[in-house]
Structure 1
């Protein structure tokens, strides 16, 4: 990536930093709430024998929780990277090409690290 500075205004970047910090707290707070709910359920129900359907439902819910956890982990990682880019002066520039990420994209997704085209390519390779 070329060594360039972000073309965005300082005010916009400061606004985005605050949004990113709030978003990080929100995502991490959701993780803590889910973990606390699982612990509370386990404390109440322990190792009770359950119906087959209950066990199957619990497994399905755990699969969904794990998928959400994975999404949250990736999002927190992207938020942390965006905050680092603010500190480095490269916020708003693609991690791959160094091209500017459109301001509208950053307003919609403050943790965006790639242009929309690069993101589509990355998703297509998964």
Structure 2
């Protein structure tokens, strides 16, 4: 059964979004893998050799950056997986929070969106 609140999300649009999500997911996983490789290289480079404070600082900064990238990639992949799940459930375009329609422009900008822009603004204010 089609939800009237998302009538402007035709099958062609949803299929394009599904393809975009799959492509984005593959790219993010690849980027995450590269960050993991960088992390491994840093660990191996440090080895058992004594490091000076600058080397340690650079290595720790790079490690922190890699961990932040990996965390962001992981969260975005989770969101993409949820959006793909919503396509399968035929609820893509409806908010997970309040069930209202997510604007088409918002979905075009952020294909993995599962909340309306109003909900996102409210969440930002709370944090």
TM-score calculated relative to the size of structure 2:
0.88
Moved more, 37-46 or 82-91: 37-46
Moved more, 98-107 or 44-53: 44-53
Tell me the equivalent position of 2:56: 55
How many Å separate the matches in 1 of 2:72 and 2:123?
15
Tell me the equivalent position of 1:114: 115
How many Å separate the matches in 1 of 2:111 and 2:85?
13
Please give the root-mean-square deviation of Cα atoms over the aligned residues, in Å. Answer: 1.7
Tell me the equivalent position of 2:75: 74
How many Å separate the matches in 2 of 1:96 and 1:27?
25
How many Å separate the matches in 2 of 1:102 and 1:66?
33
SS in 1 for 2:114: coil
Moved more, 39-48 or 28-37: 39-48
Structure 1: give runs of 5+ residues left out of the alignment.
none
Tell me the equivalent position of 1:32: 33
How many Å separate the matches in 1 of 2:111 and 2:88?
15
Distance change in 2, residues 1:72/1:36 (3 Å)? same
Contact map agreement 2:35 2:70 (CA 8 A) in 1: no
Structure 2: give runs of 5+ residues left out of the alignment.
none
SS in 1 for 2:43: helix
TM-score calculated relative to the size of structure 1:
0.89
